[in-house]
Structure 1
C-alpha cells in the first residue's frame, strides 16, 4: 500500500507515468522535462504559457530547473521496483496503470478507476496488490485462502474446511473475521482513551490535593502557635512537637502525592503509546495484514491505579498529639473548649449485643468489658450466635466520623475490629478479619497484625502498653488504628466503600478488652 501511494506521488501530471528527468516550475509543480517542453511548444502560437497543473500564466516561456532531490527519489524507487515487481491493473490494457488492490474472488488487480466499479460483496476480498502469491493460495489444495479458522487462528481454503484438517472448526469469511478483530481493537482503543483521560483527571486532582494539604497545614500551624505562646516552657516544648509533626506530615503527604503523580504520568505515557499502536491497527484495510497483526499488550495499561491512603492528610494523628499536649494544662483548656463548643466528649456507653454472644464470652456488668476464660465453654444453637468466641456491638454505624480508645490485657488472644451485621456466624471464615465483611486488629501475645478478607499483615515495632485508638470515617471509607502510647502514630489504615452499617466486633480468649468512645476535638479546633 505504501508503495502504491508513493508511486501516485511520482507520476507526471502530463504523461501519467513515473517522472523522467523531473524539472520544477516557479509555481512549484514538477513534470518530466520532455513533457513540459512539449506543452510549452504547443503554446508558442498563443504567446502565453500556463502550468498544466495549476494554470498559472507566464508571459515569457519558463525555463524549468532540474529537481535533483525528486530525481534521486525516482531513481531509488525504480531500483526498488526492479527488486519488487510492480503490479498493474488487470483491466487497463491500453497502458499500464498501477493497481492499488487485488481481489481474491476475481483474481484481478484493480487501479483507482476500476476499484470504484468493483463489486463490494463480502465474497470479494481485497488485499494489497503486491502480496506474495504463496500467501494467497492453500499450499495443500491450491485454492484461494478466503476463510479464517477461529479455532486455529489460521487462513484456510474451502477444501480445508470441508474435507481437510479444519473440519467441524468454527470458520468465517476473511472480511468478517477482519471486521470482528478491528471491532475488538476499536473497543480497546476507546477503553485506553478513557483510561488516559481518567489518569489525567487524577493527576489534576492530586495536584489540587497537594495544594489543599499545604493550605490546611499552614492554617493549622497558625492556630497551634498562639495556643502554647503564653504557657510554661515545658508546655511550649510540647507545642513545638505538635508543630514539628505538622511539618513532617506535610513533607510525608507531599512526597506520597509526588510519587503517585509520577506513577500516573508513567501510566499516561504507556497509554499514549498503546493508543498510537491501536490507531495504526484500526487504520489497516488489508484483511491479511489485520489477521496477521498482534494487538499490543494492554493488560498493564488497563490496570487501574487507585489513590493510596498514604496520600491522605492524617489529621487524626495531629489532633491526638494536640489533645495530649493541651490536656496536661487542664486549667487552661476548659475555657478554650467551651468557647469552641468542643468540651463535651461523646462518651456514649458501648452496649454489646448479647444475641451474638456464643456464651463463651462473659459480658461484665455495664456491657462495656469483654472477658473470656477457657473454663466458660457453652454452646447455643441460635442462628444469630457465633460459634467462635465473638461478640458485636448492639448499634451499627452508618454515617459520620468516630474514635474509640481501647484498653486490652497484656496476655491472651485479643481481636477487635468492625464487621457488617451480615457476617457469617459459624466456621473458620466467621472470625473477624477472615472474610470480606470484617476488618480486625489482633494481638496474640507478642504478635500484632491486621486482617481483612483472610489476609493477615503483621505489624512491627508496635507498643500497646497503654491504649489503642480506632478511627472510623464511614463516608470516607477509612478505618485506621493508632498507637496511643509514646510516640503516637498511625499503625495501619484500611480503605473500602462501606455498604452496610458497621458494628464494633470482639474476639477474646484468656484476656479482656475495654472500649470507650472519645471525641476528636483537636480536629475541629485545627481543621474546621
Structure 2
C-alpha cells in the first residue's frame, strides 16, 4: 500500500504519468519539462500571464524552472525497472522518452496509444481502434492498400471502399465492418448458449448411460427363462438354450454399446468445452476482422445444422438392442403364462381320468375348448384301462402346447417376403420364385391401375403388428431403393417412388452413395462408410421403429426411422437400369 502511494507521488499532475525530465518551480511544485512548457505556452498566448497549475502562484513574466536532479534519478531508476519487466508487448507510439504499454491501436493513424494519448486521440468513426497490434498489412486491402471498412457476406471476406465498387463485388450484399462484427458476435453468443446447453445434455446422457449400464434389463433374464423351461420336454429345452444364447449375446452387445457411447459422449463433452472456450474468446474480442475471419471456419458456421442429430444416430444400436431384449422377455413371459394354463389343464385331466363326467356316456354334446379331442378319442363302452386314456390326454397336451405356445417364438425368425406381381411395374423382371428383382428394357406385362409406373413392386406380405425383419442382397452399381410402404401409396405420377412421399420409407443407393429417404427428404449416409451389399430391414410396428442394418462381419445400424404407423406395411423395392435386389429366404451368416 505504501509503495502505491509513493508511486502516485512520482506522477506529473498534468499528464498523470511518471515524470519525464522533472523540473521544479519557485513555489516548490514539480512537473515534466514538456508539460509545464506546453501549459505556459497556452497561458501566455491566452492570458498574458503565467501560473503554477497546482497552487496558481501567478507571475507576469515566464518563471524560471530548475531541474530536479534527485527526482530525475528516482524516475530514471523506476523507468529502468519497468523497461526490464517489459520483455514483450506493444508500446505507445507517442511516448518517446520511455516505453509505456499501449492499450489500443488506431488503424487509420497506424499508431499505438497508451491511456494518456488515447484520451486526446481523435474520436471520429474513421479512426478505428483495435487491440494493440504492429501488423497493419492484414488491416488493409492487399489490392488497393486502403483500410478494410466493409464485409462482403456472399464472399465471406473484408473489403475496402474501392472493392465495393469493383466488378468482383458488384451486386453482393455488403455491410459496414462494425455492423457485420456485431451481428456475428450476436450469432456466436447464441451458438455459445446452444453449445453450453448441449454440453449439459451430454453430461446428463453420460450419467443416465452409466446408471443403465449398472442396471441392465437382462439381469434376471436367465433365472426367469430357466424357471419357465424347467418342466418341459426336449423341444422346449432346445428353445430355452436358444433364448439364453440370444440374451447372452444381446447383453454383451449392450455392454459394448454402452461403453462405446459413453466414450463418444465424453469426447463430445471435451470438444464442446474447447469450443465454448474459443467462442467466449471470440465474443470478448474487439477486433472485428479477427472475429469474422475466425468464426468463418466450418466448426462455427455449420455446427448449428444437425449437430444435435448426430447423437440420435449413434444411439440406434443401443435402442434396438434394448427393444429386441424387451420383446424377447415379453415372448418368454407369454410362454410362461400359456405353459401354466396348459399344465393346469393337463393336471386336471390326469387326475379326473375316465371318471370325469364330461367323458361319460351320459355327457352332453357340448364341447369345451381343450377337451373335445380327448373325449372324442374315448369310447364310453370300450372299458379300456384308464392309463390308456391318460396317455392320450398327455399326448393331446403336448400337441396343444406346441400349437398354441411355440408359434409365438417361431414368429421372431426371418419374415417370408412374397412379392405381389400384381403391383410390379411393366418393366420389372421377377425371377427365382419372385425373390429377385431387376430392370427390364422391354415391357413384360399389361398395364393396370394397380401396377407402378416404373421399376417398383410391393410384397404380398404385410405387417400390422409385431416385430419382423428380412435380409436383402443388392447390386453394388446402378440405382436402387429398398424399404416399406403403405398399401395406399400412389402408383403413378411424380412421387410414386418409395421414399418420395409420406406413405413410404427407404434406404437408397445411387452410384455408391447411400441415403435414407422419406417424404422426399434425403439424409446423406456417406459418413457411415458402407462397404458391402447385404442389408437387414427391421420393423417394430407397435414402437414405430424402422431400422436399416448393414451386414458384414457384424450387424451395424446405419439409419433408423421413427414414426407412428397407421396402416399395414408392405416390403417395397425399386430398381433402375443396371440395378438388382435379391430377397434372402434365410438370415445371412455373420
Structure 1 position 496, deviation (Å): 0.3
Q: Deviations over 1:377-410 (max 9, x none)?
A: 642443775655734669884xxx51469999xx
Q: 2:206 aligns with which of 203, 206, 210?
A: 203
Residue 272 of structure 2 corresponds to: 271
* Pair 1:307-2:298 in alignment: no
> 1:504 corresponds to which residue?
570
Give 1:108-257 correspondences, 5 Å limit: 112=115, 122-132=125-135, 144-148=147-151, 157-158=160-161, 161=164, 171-212=174-215, 214=216, 216-231=217-232, 236=237, 239-257=240-258
Q: Which residue of 2 aligns with 1:259?
A: 260
Q: 1:296 to 1:392 in 2, by over 3 A?
A: same
Distance 1:226 1:266 in 2: 43
Aligned pairs for 1:436-447 within 5 A: 437-439=504-506
Matched, 1:402 2:466: yes
Q: 1:389-437: CA deviations, max 9, x gaps?
A: 734669884xxx51469999xxxxxx99631356452599967689992
TM-superposed CA distance for 1:258, in Å, is: 0.8
Task: Name stretches of at least 5 consecutive residues in structure 1 with no aligned partner.
Answer: 1-8, 21-69, 362-368, 409-414, 442-449, 463-467, 484-488, 515-528
CA contact (8 A) 2:486 2:570 kept: no
What residue number does 2:373 align with?
Answer: none
Which of 7, 10, 24 aligns to 1:15? It is 10
> Are the equivalent residues in 2 in contact too, given 1:360–1:377 (CA < 8 A)?
yes
Cα-Cα RMSD:
6.3
Deviations 1:30-76 (A, max 9, x none): xxxxxxxxxxxxxxxxxxxxxxxxxxxxxxxxxxxxxxxx9998453
Question: Cα offset for 1:275?
Answer: 1.5
8 Å Cα contact 1:418/1:503 also seen in 2: yes
Structure 1 residue 264: Cα displacement: 1.6
Question: Kindly tell me: are residues 384 and 98 of structure 1, through their superposed partners in 2, closer, same or farther at Cα, counting changes over 3 Å?
Answer: same
Residues 1:419 and 1:277: Cα distance change in structure 2 (over 3 Å): same
CA drift of 1:254 comes to 0.9
Are 2:421 and 1:418 equivalent residues in the alignment? no
1:142, distance to aligned residue in structure 2 (A): 7.0
Higher relative contact order (CA 8 A, sep 6+): 1
**Cα distance, 1:225 vs structure 2:** 1.8
1:432-454 per-residue CA deviation (whole Å, 9 max, x = no partner) reads 6899924489xxxxxxxx99659
- Other-structure match for 1:282: 283
Residue 266 of structure 1 deviates from its aligned partner by 1.1
SS at 1:217's partner residue? coil
Identify which range, 133-142 or 298-307, moves more after superposition: 133-142
| Deviation of 1:178 (Å) | 2.5
- C-alpha offsets along residues 455-481 of structure 1, whole Å, 9 cap, x if unaligned? 998666x9xxxxx99642343424589
The equivalent position to 2:449 in structure 1, one of 358, 382, 398, is: 382
- For the residue of structure 2 that corresponds to 1:496, the secondary structure is strand
Give 2:541's match in structure 1, choosing from 473, 489, 503.
473
Secondary structure of residue in 2 paired with 1:230: coil
1:87 is aligned to 2:93:
yes
The partner residue of 1:76 within 74, 84, 91 is 84
Distance 2:255 2:187 in 1: 40
**In the TM superposition, what whole-angstrom CA distance separates every residue of 1:95-135 from its partner, at most 9, and x where no partner exists?**
99765334456888665478679887755522235544666
Stretches of structure 2 that go unaligned for 5 or more consecutive residues are 12-16, 21-77, 347-403, 412-416, 473-480, 509-513, 575-579, 586-590
Instruction: State the TM-score, normalized to the length of structure 1.
Output: 0.54
Q: CA deviation at 1:268?
A: 1.7
Tell me the secondary structure at the aligned position of residue 87 of structure 1: coil
Q: In 1, are the aligned partners of 2:426 and 2:447 still within 8 Å (CA)?
A: yes
Q: Secondary structure at the match of 2:570?
A: strand
Q: TM-score, normalised by structure 2?
A: 0.49
Of residues 560, 563, 568 in structure 2, which corresponds to 1:495?
560
CA shift for structure 1 position 198: 3.5
- After the TM superposition, which residues 312-323 of structure 1 pair with which residues of structure 2 at under 5 Å, given as runs? 312=319, 313=321, 316=324
